[in-house]
Amino acid sequence: MSSRMRDVVRRPSLPLTEQDERDLARLRDSPPYRQVLSQLSGQEFDARTSEGVFLHAIFEAGLNSVRSAAEEVGYAILADDQEEQAARRAIARRRPPTWAEEK
Tell me, yes or no, whether 2 lies in a domain: no
- Residue 84: per-residue pLDDT: 84
Contacts of 66 (CB under 8 A, 6+ apart): none
> How many distinct structural domains can be found in the chain?
1
Tell me, yes or no, whether 42 lies in a domain: yes
Write the pLDDT tens digit of every residue in 31-42.
Answer: 899 899 998 888
In whole angstroms, give the CA distance from residue 35 to residue 31: 6
Write the pLDDT tens digit of every residue in 81-97.
Answer: 888 888 888 887 777 77
Tell me, yes or no, whether 81 lies in a domain: yes
Helix (H, G, I), strand (E, B) or coil at 15: coil
Tell me, yes or no, whether 103 lies in a domain: no
- The parts of the chain modelled with pLDDT lower than 50 are 1
Tell me, yes or no, whether 43 lies in a domain: yes
- Residue 2: per-residue pLDDT: 53
Distances (CA, A) of 77 to 37, 52, 72, 84, 94: 30, 37, 9, 11, 26
- Residue 3: per-residue pLDDT: 53
Tell me, yes or no, whether 102 lies in a domain: no
- Residue 90: per-residue pLDDT: 80
